[in-house]
Amino acid sequence: MEFYEVVKKRRSYRFFKSEMPEKDTIKRIIKAARLAPTWANMQGVEYIIIQDQDTVNKIWEAIGQGEKFNNAPMFIVGIIPESGSGKNKNGEPYYPVDFGICFEHIMLAATAEGLGSCWIGFFNEDKIKQILEIPKKYRVLGLTPLGYPQKEKEEISSRKDLEEITHWESF
Ligand SMILES: Cc1cc2nc3c(=O)[nH]c(=O)nc-3n(C[C@H](O)[C@H](O)[C@H](O)COP(=O)(O)O)c2cc1C
């Protein structure tokens, strides 16, 4: 799929078919995330693939967003240790930035594979860490259900006008 087509096609999907994505497909998606830029190439982001249905159900409970989603065959959970990236000149950490870039690569690669995803950022992090036995030093900054969409969405949801978000030369 051509790049701009992928970008336009990526939408947040919340309803999935039960068919499990192929292992090779999942590996290609993770390989795409592996190519993402990170602070000093530190590559701190790691991915937990969840296909066991008991665990998938537990993850939904920890997300707790109810009927907004139906079940999905699997999840990709992204994790990064706070030490997994650098800090800027103000001492502010860059690990959430590295995480965001890598996880967006996941979403775009999933789209290119014909899969639906939805970045989930609102969940009980402690519960997810407990369910997946994630070591204390890691943060869980996002996770996504992954599966074939029940129904394709329109290519674009509403966005601000280009003029509203673009400043040429100065603010
Ligand atoms: C950091 C982040 C966190 C998000 N968290 C959630 C979430 O917890 N639940 C949810 O249903 N969607 C979540 N979303 C999806 C957004 O609601 C969605 O991207 C936005 O409404 C635009 O729609 P689109 O992705 O279909 O273009 C999140 C997106 C981002 C980038």
Q: Which of 5, 4, 6 is nearest to 109 (CA)?
A: 6
Q: State the closest ligand 1 atom to the C-alpha of 65, by its place in the atom list counted from 1.
A: 9
What pLDDT was estimated at residue 154? 86
Question: Which residue among 120, 123, 140, 155 has the greatest number of ligand 1 atoms within 8 angstroms of its CB, and so is best to mutate?
Answer: 120
What pLDDT was estimated at residue 155? 80
Low-confidence ranges of the chain (pLDDT < 50): none
Q: State the closest ligand 1 atom to the C-alpha of 122, by its place in the atom list counted from 1.
A: 8
Contact 23, 86 (CB under 8 A): no
- Residues with beta carbon inside 6 Å of ligand 1? 11-12, 65, 68, 118-122, 157
Task: Give the model confidence (pLDDT) of 78-98 as tens digits.
Answer: 999 999 999 999 999 999 999
How far, in Å, CA of 2 to CA of 13, rounded? 20
Q: How is the chain split into domains, by residue range? A: 22-151
Show the tokens assigned to 112.
Answer: 């290119």
Burial of 116 (0-12, 13-18, 19+ CB in 10 A): buried
What pLDDT was estimated at residue 157? 79
Q: State the closest ligand 1 atom to the C-alpha of 153, by its place in the atom list counted from 1.
A: 26
Q: What is the DSSP letter of 93?
A: B
How far, in Å, CA of 35 to CA of 125, rounded? 26
Q: Name the H helices within the chain.
A: 3-9, 23-34, 53-63, 95-112, 125-132, 162-165
What pLDDT was estimated at residue 45? 98
At the second CATH level, the architecture of 22-151 is 3-Layer(aba) Sandwich (3.40)
Nearest CA to ligand 1 atom 15: 119
